[in-house]
Structure 1
Protein backbone atom coordinates (compact mmCIF):
# COMPACT_ATOMS: atom_id res chain seq x y z
CA UNK A 1 0.00 0.00 0.00
CA UNK A 2 1.48 3.33 -1.00
CA UNK A 3 1.46 6.24 1.43
CA UNK A 4 -1.24 8.87 1.11
CA UNK A 5 -0.42 11.83 -1.11
CA UNK A 6 0.59 14.97 0.74
CA UNK A 7 -2.25 17.46 0.87
CA UNK A 8 -2.77 20.72 2.64
CA UNK A 9 -5.06 20.93 5.64
CA UNK A 10 -7.87 23.49 5.38
CA UNK A 11 -7.11 26.82 7.01
CA UNK A 12 -7.97 27.21 10.66
CA UNK A 13 -10.43 29.96 9.73
CA UNK A 14 -12.33 27.60 7.40
CA UNK A 15 -12.31 24.80 9.98
CA UNK A 16 -13.71 27.10 12.67
CA UNK A 17 -16.33 28.47 10.25
CA UNK A 18 -17.28 24.88 9.43
CA UNK A 19 -17.53 24.06 13.15
CA UNK A 20 -19.76 27.11 13.68
CA UNK A 21 -22.05 26.05 10.81
CA UNK A 22 -22.03 22.46 12.07
CA UNK A 23 -23.24 23.67 15.47
CA UNK A 24 -26.43 25.02 13.86
CA UNK A 25 -27.07 21.76 12.04
CA UNK A 26 -26.41 19.71 15.18
CA UNK A 27 -28.72 21.98 17.19
CA UNK A 28 -31.57 21.11 14.82
CA UNK A 29 -30.73 17.42 14.99
CA UNK A 30 -30.70 17.50 18.80
CA UNK A 31 -34.00 19.40 18.88
CA UNK A 32 -35.63 16.60 16.88
CA UNK A 33 -34.01 13.99 19.14
CA UNK A 34 -35.18 15.91 22.22
CA UNK A 35 -38.76 16.11 20.96
CA UNK A 36 -38.72 12.39 20.15
CA UNK A 37 -37.27 11.53 23.56
CA UNK A 38 -39.87 13.65 25.35
CA UNK A 39 -42.73 12.20 23.27
CA UNK A 40 -41.64 8.67 24.17
CA UNK A 41 -40.75 9.19 27.85
CA UNK A 42 -42.73 12.29 28.91
CA UNK A 43 -39.72 13.32 31.02
CA UNK A 44 -38.59 16.92 31.11
CA UNK A 45 -34.99 18.06 30.81
CA UNK A 46 -34.49 19.43 34.31
CA UNK A 47 -30.90 19.75 35.56
CA UNK A 48 -29.82 16.59 37.33
CA UNK A 49 -32.78 14.66 35.92
CA UNK A 50 -31.77 14.43 32.27
CA UNK A 51 -29.32 11.53 32.30
CA UNK A 52 -31.44 9.52 29.87
CA UNK A 53 -31.78 12.46 27.50
CA UNK A 54 -28.05 13.15 27.72
CA UNK A 55 -27.29 9.56 26.74
CA UNK A 56 -29.77 9.78 23.86
CA UNK A 57 -28.12 13.00 22.66
CA UNK A 58 -24.66 11.46 22.93
CA UNK A 59 -25.82 8.43 20.94
CA UNK A 60 -27.46 10.59 18.27
CA UNK A 61 -24.28 12.66 17.91
CA UNK A 62 -22.09 9.54 17.74
CA UNK A 63 -24.25 7.98 15.01
CA UNK A 64 -24.60 11.22 13.04
CA UNK A 65 -20.90 12.09 13.01
CA UNK A 66 -19.67 8.52 12.52
CA UNK A 67 -22.07 7.95 9.64
CA UNK A 68 -21.13 11.23 7.95
CA UNK A 69 -17.39 10.88 8.54
CA UNK A 70 -17.41 7.30 7.22
CA UNK A 71 -18.65 8.87 3.97
CA UNK A 72 -15.91 11.51 4.05
CA UNK A 73 -17.77 14.62 5.20
CA UNK A 74 -20.70 16.14 7.06
CA UNK A 75 -23.05 18.63 5.40
CA UNK A 76 -21.11 21.53 6.92
CA UNK A 77 -17.81 20.03 5.74
CA UNK A 78 -19.25 19.62 2.25
CA UNK A 79 -20.33 23.26 2.23
CA UNK A 80 -16.82 24.40 3.23
CA UNK A 81 -15.06 21.89 0.93
CA UNK A 82 -13.43 20.03 3.80
CA UNK A 83 -13.09 16.26 3.83
CA UNK A 84 -12.02 13.75 6.45
CA UNK A 85 -9.99 10.70 5.51
CA UNK A 86 -7.85 7.95 6.94
CA UNK A 87 -4.34 9.39 7.21
CA UNK A 88 -2.75 6.18 5.85
CA UNK A 89 -5.07 5.19 3.01
CA UNK A 90 -6.59 8.52 1.90
CA UNK A 91 -10.02 6.88 2.02
CA UNK A 92 -12.92 7.93 4.23
CA UNK A 93 -12.46 6.47 7.71
CA UNK A 94 -14.30 3.25 8.52
CA UNK A 95 -17.01 3.24 11.21
CA UNK A 96 -14.67 2.19 14.00
CA UNK A 97 -12.18 4.90 13.14
CA UNK A 98 -15.01 7.45 12.88
CA UNK A 99 -16.24 6.45 16.35
CA UNK A 100 -12.69 6.80 17.66
CA UNK A 101 -12.50 10.27 16.09
CA UNK A 102 -15.82 11.16 17.74
CA UNK A 103 -14.60 10.02 21.15
CA UNK A 104 -11.30 11.89 20.86
CA UNK A 105 -13.05 15.03 19.57
CA UNK A 106 -14.51 15.56 23.03
CA UNK A 107 -11.06 16.89 23.96
CA UNK A 108 -12.36 20.15 22.48
CA UNK A 109 -14.93 20.44 25.27
CA UNK A 110 -14.26 18.14 28.23
CA UNK A 111 -11.45 20.11 29.93
CA UNK A 112 -13.65 23.22 30.12
CA UNK A 113 -16.65 21.22 31.33
CA UNK A 114 -14.54 19.47 33.98
CA UNK A 115 -13.08 22.75 35.24
CA UNK A 116 -16.55 24.31 35.31
CA UNK A 117 -17.80 21.39 37.38
CA UNK A 118 -14.83 21.49 39.77
CA UNK A 119 -15.33 25.23 40.30
CA UNK A 120 -19.09 24.73 40.74
CA UNK A 121 -19.95 27.04 37.86
CA UNK A 122 -23.02 25.07 36.73
CA UNK A 123 -25.34 27.78 38.10
CA UNK A 124 -23.42 30.51 36.25
CA UNK A 125 -23.85 29.45 32.65
CA UNK A 126 -22.01 32.43 31.18
CA UNK A 127 -18.77 31.24 32.82
CA UNK A 128 -19.27 27.78 31.36
CA UNK A 129 -19.62 29.36 27.91
CA UNK A 130 -16.51 31.48 28.50
CA UNK A 131 -14.57 28.37 29.61
CA UNK A 132 -15.79 26.45 26.54
CA UNK A 133 -14.80 29.28 24.21
CA UNK A 134 -11.33 29.57 25.76
CA UNK A 135 -10.89 25.78 25.60
CA UNK A 136 -11.98 25.70 21.96
CA UNK A 137 -9.63 28.53 20.98
CA UNK A 138 -6.65 26.94 22.75
CA UNK A 139 -7.48 23.61 21.10
CA UNK A 140 -7.77 25.24 17.68
CA UNK A 141 -4.57 27.28 18.00
CA UNK A 142 -2.68 24.14 19.09
CA UNK A 143 -2.94 22.96 15.48
CA UNK A 144 -0.08 25.37 14.72
CA UNK A 145 2.31 23.02 16.50
CA UNK A 146 0.89 19.64 15.46
CA UNK A 147 2.14 17.80 12.36
CA UNK A 148 0.18 18.72 9.25
CA UNK A 149 -1.66 21.36 11.30
CA UNK A 150 -4.26 18.73 12.14
CA UNK A 151 -6.42 18.70 15.26
CA UNK A 152 -5.21 16.55 18.16
CA UNK A 153 -8.23 14.24 17.87
CA UNK A 154 -7.41 13.62 14.20
CA UNK A 155 -3.83 12.68 15.08
CA UNK A 156 -5.05 10.31 17.81
CA UNK A 157 -7.71 8.72 15.58
CA UNK A 158 -5.41 8.37 12.55
CA UNK A 159 -7.54 10.68 10.44
CA UNK A 160 -6.89 14.01 8.78
CA UNK A 161 -8.87 16.91 7.41
CA UNK A 162 -8.19 17.77 3.79
CA UNK A 163 -8.97 20.75 1.59
CA UNK A 164 -11.32 19.64 -1.21
CA UNK A 165 -11.23 22.87 -3.20
CA UNK A 166 -9.97 22.46 -6.74
CA UNK A 167 -6.50 23.87 -7.39
CA UNK A 168 -6.43 26.86 -9.76
CA UNK A 169 -6.54 25.83 -13.40
CA UNK A 170 -8.16 22.42 -12.81
CA UNK A 171 -11.53 21.97 -14.52
CA UNK A 172 -13.97 19.28 -13.53
Structure 2
Protein backbone atom coordinates (compact mmCIF):
# COMPACT_ATOMS: atom_id res chain seq x y z
CA UNK A 1 0.00 0.00 0.00
CA UNK A 2 1.23 3.45 -0.86
CA UNK A 3 1.59 6.38 1.51
CA UNK A 4 0.92 9.48 -0.54
CA UNK A 5 -0.33 10.73 -3.88
CA UNK A 6 1.88 12.31 -6.53
CA UNK A 7 -0.04 14.51 -9.01
CA UNK A 8 1.95 13.43 -12.05
CA UNK A 9 1.08 9.77 -11.44
CA UNK A 10 -2.58 9.93 -10.49
CA UNK A 11 -5.32 11.35 -12.68
CA UNK A 12 -8.15 9.13 -11.38
CA UNK A 13 -8.55 9.03 -7.62
CA UNK A 14 -11.32 7.12 -5.85
CA UNK A 15 -11.90 7.98 -2.18
CA UNK A 16 -14.12 5.77 -0.02
CA UNK A 17 -14.94 5.73 3.67
CA UNK A 18 -17.66 6.14 6.22
CA UNK A 19 -19.88 9.12 6.73
CA UNK A 20 -17.75 11.85 8.42
CA UNK A 21 -14.46 10.15 7.56
CA UNK A 22 -13.24 13.21 5.66
CA UNK A 23 -13.91 12.09 2.07
CA UNK A 24 -15.32 15.39 0.84
CA UNK A 25 -12.65 17.48 2.55
CA UNK A 26 -9.92 15.32 1.03
CA UNK A 27 -11.55 15.36 -2.41
CA UNK A 28 -11.77 19.16 -2.36
CA UNK A 29 -8.13 19.51 -1.31
CA UNK A 30 -6.87 17.06 -3.92
CA UNK A 31 -9.06 18.72 -6.54
CA UNK A 32 -7.51 22.11 -5.80
CA UNK A 33 -4.00 20.71 -5.52
CA UNK A 34 -4.08 18.68 -8.75
CA UNK A 35 -6.66 20.75 -10.68
CA UNK A 36 -8.93 17.72 -11.18
CA UNK A 37 -12.73 17.86 -10.96
CA UNK A 38 -14.19 15.95 -8.01
CA UNK A 39 -17.55 14.19 -7.87
CA UNK A 40 -19.73 13.15 -4.93
CA UNK A 41 -21.31 9.73 -5.38
CA UNK A 42 -24.34 10.94 -3.41
CA UNK A 43 -25.02 13.30 -6.33
CA UNK A 44 -24.84 10.36 -8.72
CA UNK A 45 -27.39 8.42 -6.65
CA UNK A 46 -29.67 11.39 -5.96
CA UNK A 47 -30.99 14.19 -8.12
CA UNK A 48 -30.86 17.38 -6.06
CA UNK A 49 -34.18 19.14 -6.63
CA UNK A 50 -35.61 22.24 -4.90
CA UNK A 51 -38.37 20.11 -3.35
CA UNK A 52 -35.92 17.51 -2.05
CA UNK A 53 -33.76 14.68 -3.27
CA UNK A 54 -35.06 12.08 -5.69
CA UNK A 55 -33.25 8.75 -5.98
CA UNK A 56 -32.29 7.94 -9.55
CA UNK A 57 -33.14 4.61 -11.14
CA UNK A 58 -30.32 2.04 -11.31
CA UNK A 59 -30.03 2.73 -15.04
CA UNK A 60 -29.68 6.48 -14.43
CA UNK A 61 -27.10 5.86 -11.68
CA UNK A 62 -25.05 3.64 -13.98
CA UNK A 63 -25.29 6.21 -16.80
CA UNK A 64 -24.18 9.10 -14.55
CA UNK A 65 -21.34 7.07 -13.02
CA UNK A 66 -20.08 5.92 -16.42
CA UNK A 67 -19.99 9.54 -17.61
CA UNK A 68 -17.60 10.32 -14.77
CA UNK A 69 -15.29 7.32 -15.08
CA UNK A 70 -15.01 7.75 -18.84
CA UNK A 71 -13.30 11.13 -18.30
CA UNK A 72 -9.54 11.48 -18.57
CA UNK A 73 -9.21 12.83 -15.01
CA UNK A 74 -11.47 12.59 -11.98
CA UNK A 75 -11.70 12.40 -8.24
CA UNK A 76 -14.65 10.43 -6.89
CA UNK A 77 -15.65 10.34 -3.25
CA UNK A 78 -18.37 8.42 -1.49
CA UNK A 79 -19.33 5.56 0.75
CA UNK A 80 -18.71 2.04 -0.51
CA UNK A 81 -21.48 0.85 -2.83
CA UNK A 82 -21.07 -2.27 -4.96
CA UNK A 83 -22.76 -0.58 -7.92
CA UNK A 84 -19.68 1.66 -8.22
CA UNK A 85 -17.00 -1.05 -8.11
CA UNK A 86 -16.11 -0.47 -11.77
CA UNK A 87 -14.49 2.74 -10.59
CA UNK A 88 -11.86 0.66 -8.78
CA UNK A 89 -10.78 -0.82 -12.12
CA UNK A 90 -10.44 2.61 -13.70
CA UNK A 91 -8.81 4.38 -10.73
CA UNK A 92 -5.08 5.07 -10.57
CA UNK A 93 -5.36 5.28 -6.79
CA UNK A 94 -7.98 4.15 -4.27
CA UNK A 95 -7.98 5.83 -0.88
CA UNK A 96 -9.80 4.12 1.97
CA UNK A 97 -10.33 6.51 4.85
CA UNK A 98 -10.39 4.36 7.96
CA UNK A 99 -11.04 7.22 10.38
CA UNK A 100 -11.56 6.00 13.97
CA UNK A 101 -15.21 5.73 15.10
CA UNK A 102 -14.80 8.25 17.94
CA UNK A 103 -13.54 10.89 15.50
CA UNK A 104 -16.40 10.22 13.07
CA UNK A 105 -18.94 10.50 15.90
CA UNK A 106 -17.53 13.89 16.89
CA UNK A 107 -17.53 15.06 13.28
CA UNK A 108 -21.14 13.88 12.79
CA UNK A 109 -22.29 15.84 15.84
CA UNK A 110 -20.34 18.96 14.80
CA UNK A 111 -21.59 18.77 11.20
CA UNK A 112 -25.19 18.26 12.27
CA UNK A 113 -25.06 21.17 14.72
CA UNK A 114 -23.45 23.50 12.16
CA UNK A 115 -26.05 22.53 9.57
CA UNK A 116 -28.86 22.85 12.09
CA UNK A 117 -27.90 26.44 12.95
CA UNK A 118 -27.19 27.15 9.27
CA UNK A 119 -23.46 27.75 9.54
CA UNK A 120 -22.91 24.97 7.01
CA UNK A 121 -24.90 24.00 3.92
CA UNK A 122 -26.53 20.61 3.65
CA UNK A 123 -28.03 18.47 0.89
CA UNK A 124 -30.58 17.19 3.40
CA UNK A 125 -32.69 18.59 6.23
CA UNK A 126 -30.61 18.24 9.43
CA UNK A 127 -33.29 16.64 11.58
CA UNK A 128 -32.66 14.58 14.71
CA UNK A 129 -33.72 11.54 12.70
CA UNK A 130 -30.95 12.32 10.16
CA UNK A 131 -28.43 12.64 12.98
CA UNK A 132 -29.36 9.15 14.19
CA UNK A 133 -29.14 7.81 10.63
CA UNK A 134 -25.60 9.18 10.26
CA UNK A 135 -24.55 7.43 13.48
CA UNK A 136 -26.13 4.23 12.20
CA UNK A 137 -24.29 4.55 8.86
CA UNK A 138 -21.03 5.13 10.71
CA UNK A 139 -21.56 1.96 12.74
CA UNK A 140 -22.51 0.10 9.57
CA UNK A 141 -19.16 1.00 8.06
CA UNK A 142 -17.37 -0.82 10.87
CA UNK A 143 -19.51 -3.90 10.23
CA UNK A 144 -18.86 -3.81 6.47
CA UNK A 145 -15.13 -3.08 6.65
CA UNK A 146 -14.13 -6.73 6.05
CA UNK A 147 -16.29 -6.82 2.91
CA UNK A 148 -14.76 -3.57 1.67
CA UNK A 149 -11.21 -4.81 2.27
CA UNK A 150 -12.00 -8.09 0.50
CA UNK A 151 -13.42 -6.15 -2.47
CA UNK A 152 -10.23 -4.05 -2.60
CA UNK A 153 -7.84 -7.05 -2.52
CA UNK A 154 -7.47 -7.24 -6.34
CA UNK A 155 -6.43 -3.57 -6.33
CA UNK A 156 -3.98 -3.75 -3.42
CA UNK A 157 -1.19 -2.18 -5.51
CA UNK A 158 -3.18 1.03 -5.82
CA UNK A 159 -4.88 1.14 -2.40
CA UNK A 160 -3.90 3.67 0.24
CA UNK A 161 -5.45 3.14 3.69
CA UNK A 162 -5.37 6.24 5.89
CA UNK A 163 -6.54 6.73 9.47
CA UNK A 164 -7.44 10.35 8.80
CA UNK A 165 -8.04 12.58 5.81
CA UNK A 166 -5.03 14.73 6.68
CA UNK A 167 -2.53 11.83 6.71
CA UNK A 168 -1.94 12.03 2.98
CA UNK A 169 -0.91 15.66 3.26
CA UNK A 170 1.27 15.11 6.34
CA UNK A 171 3.36 12.66 4.28
CA UNK A 172 3.85 15.14 1.45
CA UNK A 173 7.43 16.38 1.09
TM-score, normalization by structure 1: 0.30
Bigger-Rg structure (1/2): 1
Of structures 1 and 2, the one scoring higher in RCO (CA 8 A, sep 6+) is 2
Query: Greater strand percent: which structure?
Result: 2
Structure with bigger helix share is 1
**Length-normalised TM-score, structure 2:** 0.30
